[in-house]
Structure 1
Amino acid sequence: MNVEEIIDECRRKQHESLNMSHRGLVVLPARLSKLTRLKRLLVNDNHLLLPPEEVLQLEALEELVLDGNHLTMLPTAMGSLKHLTYLGLSHNPLSVLPEALGELRELKELWAVGCSLQLMPSSVGKLSKLQKLGLNNNSIMTLPPELGNLQSLQWLNLADNKLQDVPDSFNNLRSLVFISLDENGFEHVPPALTEMAGLRVLLMKFNSITSLDDDLILGFSQLIKLDLRQNPLTDRPRHWKGLDFILLGTIKGTIDNT
């Protein structure tokens, strides 16, 4: 069954989910826009080059997966997908995300892993229902302070970027439980991270951290894991006795060339 036949069957049977992944698509079929009842659309791992404007007609859409294509741009009117709760954009050479992303007010999960991003639009701070945000494996150097407005955010992955600090507004992320800052350019642990009441796991492996002040440790009393392995800070002070949640040194099986 070819793509057109699959779409026609989906429309005839009024299906709410359509999987068109791994089909070698370069563009989306125009007739896709007729599936107005569609709530879940998977078009990952194709060869899409042009902004998928066809999806903008799918006003009932709740889940959209575009991972693993060749997209360099998204539709500028992405904000029209008012019911979208899940958006997967990973492994596309996007470089930037549109400001219209902030209009997706129902969004709960946003995945933009390996997209060559250098920054995030400030409008991301409008995503008040966002719970999970995956931005690892990009080239992000700074974060917009508006990111601190994400009161529902619970899980954040910023590993493998070019960050050296986080905005002071991060202390407003009261719901955040997990954050990974592995493989960045941090030379210190940002004080803003000590003021996050819900934080339980903080990963900062493979950075350039040389010290951790005692007053910061007091702010981390609620953590169950602070992973500082593969940093220049390797010696555990004697007065850290009992602070077993702080992990230092090298990771087993990793060659330390420092």
Structure 2
Amino acid sequence: MIINARTAPVEREYLFIDGGCLRAAVSKISKDIFGNDEAYKPLLKSFATPDFHKIYYYDAIPGRNHNEAQAAYEARIQPEFERIEKIQMLDRVHVALGQIVGANRRQKGVDVRLAVDMMTQAFRGNITRATLFAGDADFVPLIEALVAEGLHVTLWHPPQANGQLKRAADSTRLFSFRSDLKCFASDDESPAFFLNPPGGQSEPPPDAHVVFLGDGRKIAGRWRGNSLVIWVHSGSFFWNTYHLAAPDCTLQAALRAFDALVNLGIADTAEQWIQT
């Protein structure tokens, strides 16, 4: 006797990104850490990980200003189109565009398109899980509807995300400089920083300037070839060694990045004792 049985659904997850929210999150983090909201920008290729079968990216192009000549408008938005074109070239990444309109620079046609696409993919059975990068309360009804249909929804959000939005999701993931370092870039090709896990048993060189921190720890550092090496001795038998690669970066920016990642509080004084 043959018994028909329902097969378990194939696990498949898509990532949906509110591009305006992502750019705003990176700008705010850049301002908080480096004092410049334009210091770094999102690196979309770092989002295209094997965790997601497809990535849908939603963004908006600035609209034409009143009395702005067509040629001037096209020249102004050309860099935006070039940025979007690079994103469209990434494998498994699909882009949908709206427009930025009005004095308050609101996105038009982005949120609705994102919501329709998420609902469509869910109802067609194409996905069993979805991750939404967003922070706006406008997405609360969307998440609540998808969760009610049995889809597992993860909200990947900036620190300032709406509280109700976070509560609506099945799970949340905070977007931060420390946990998402590879997503920050100064160009469209590679991350701005690479931090290797700390290793032990490597003492600073004999000519290093070793200083004492206020809590009794000893520390030394070297900046060479856009690479920052920090040695920290916390009273154990070994030194902990940190390596931060910072291509196209100043020493001060590298120190601020290091502080945000390791939290030693050395950025304001390190240039006095670090070896260059």
Q: TM-score, normalised by structure 2?
A: 0.22
Q: TM-score, normalised by structure 1?
A: 0.23
**Structure 1 or 2: larger helix share?**
2
Query: Which structure would you say has the larger RCO, counting Cα contacts within 8 Å and 6 or more residues apart?
Result: 2
**Structure 1 or 2: larger strand share?**
2
